Amino acid sequence: MPIENDHEFANNVYNNFMALFFNPEIAKRKALGLLNDDFTLYAAQVILFPNGDPNIIRLNDEVSAAVRLKPGVDHTRAGFWPTISEVDTFQLNETQFMNCGHVTMVLLHGGYQLSFDFQYNNQFCKEHLNIAEQFLNTSRYAIDNNHVMAFIDNSFSAIELLAKANLLLEANQNVSGKTNHNQIKQAFNNRFRYSETEFEVSQRAVFNRLSDQRSKARYLNGEVNISIGELNSIQDTVRKMYDALVERLQYVEN
């Protein structure tokens, strides 16, 4: 998320990040003799880990980020030093940190440009969404051809991946490593147990319904009794859940 238009808000965010991350780091390095007293800050970055590992704080030349300019900006002009209005955002560009959050601040012509992203596990979630889409498309084929058992099995696989992606974006430690069906189900139910938002309630209900029916559908462990109307409703909910997560990730990238 870039900060540039609301100056009062931007100043407050800048001051808070300086006080929380960068001023203590500068003071520590000066005390250790690693920085001169006349040190000038022109870039700063903190990398935030989803598993609670200690932050990495970078100053000046240590900062690494991809700079995205706004459309139409001529970066080939002599002595190019972009203004705040010419830079869209800064994004992490190192593969080992693609699942981290960050705060990145760079001095541009006219002042500091500040970008931050506190949404974790973006790369993991993209991978989950790619596979979930395959199961979701297969479930669409299954329902169109009246393959009810295949629909239930594939829909469950899709929604379980989507549920885990949702939890990963929030850095839920219950799904941070290898997981099984029960762990994901318990974590997802706990997350939305008290939600009164209609869509969140619907997601949780569909997840549990598919979880309960999957054993019967896949392993013939009981009778499946589900109407075509409910099948279509399930398909619609899982598709909306997928679309919402895709939009959420694209918002961060944009």
Domain boundary residue, one of 117, 136, 157: 117
Q: Are both 168 and 112 inside the same structural domain?
A: no
10 pLDDT tier (thresholds 50, 70, 90): confident
pLDDT digits (tens, 9 = 90+) for 172-203: 888 878 899 999 999 999 999 999 999 999 99
pLDDT band at 96 (very low <50, low <70, confident <90, very high): very high
Residue 199's CATH number: 1.20.120.330
pLDDT at 221 over 70: yes
Query: Above pLDDT 90, what percent of the chain?
Result: 71
Q: What is the CA radius of gyration of the chain?
A: 23
Of 117, 147, 181, the domain-final residue: 117
Task: Give the tokens for residue 39.
Answer: 């040190």
Q: Are residues 89 and 151 in the same domain?
A: no
**Residues forming beta bridges with residue 104, ordered by sequence position:** 45, 115
CA dist 60 and 25 (Å) reads: 12
Listed residue (144, 142, 123) closest to 134, CA to CA: 142
The total number of structural domains that make up the chain: 2
Q: Is the pLDDT of residue 101 over 70?
A: yes
49-69: average pLDDT: 94
Question: Is there a single domain that holds both residue 9 and residue 80?
Answer: yes
Domain shared by 144 and 233, yes or no: yes
Instruction: With beta carbons less than 8 A apart as the criterion, state whether 173 and 51 touch.
Output: yes
Query: Cβ distance 59 to 28 under 8 Å?
Result: no
- Domain end, chosen from 61, 96, 117, is at 117
* pLDDT value for 110: 84
Residue bearing the bigger pLDDT, 36 or 52: 36
Whether 113 and 128 map to the same domain: the answer is no
Distance of CA 199 to the CA centre of its chain: 19
Q: Are 45 and 73 found together in one domain?
A: yes
Residue 10 shares a structural domain with residue 95: yes
Average pLDDT over residues 67-85: 86
Of the pLDDT bands very low, low, confident and very high (cuts 50, 70, 90), residue 6 is low
Q: b/e per residue, 19-31, with b = 16+ CB within 10 A?
A: eebbeebbeeeee
Structural domain range at position 166: 122-253
User: 103 or 250, which is more confident?
Assistant: 103
Same domain, residue pair 11 and 113: yes
Predicted local confidence at residue 81, as pLDDT: 85
Confidence at 252, pLDDT banded by 50, 70, 90: low
Whether residues 240 and 176 share a domain: the answer is: yes
The length of the chain in residues reads 254
Pair 48, 72 in one domain: yes
166 and 198 housed in the same domain: yes
| Structure confidence by residue, pLDDT tens digits, 136-169 | 999 999 999 999 999 999 999 999 999 999 999 9
Confidence of residue 1 (pLDDT cuts 50, 70, 90): low
224 and 103 part of one domain: no
pLDDT (0 to 100) of residue 80:
83
| Residue 79 scores a pLDDT above 90 | no
pLDDT for residue 237:
97
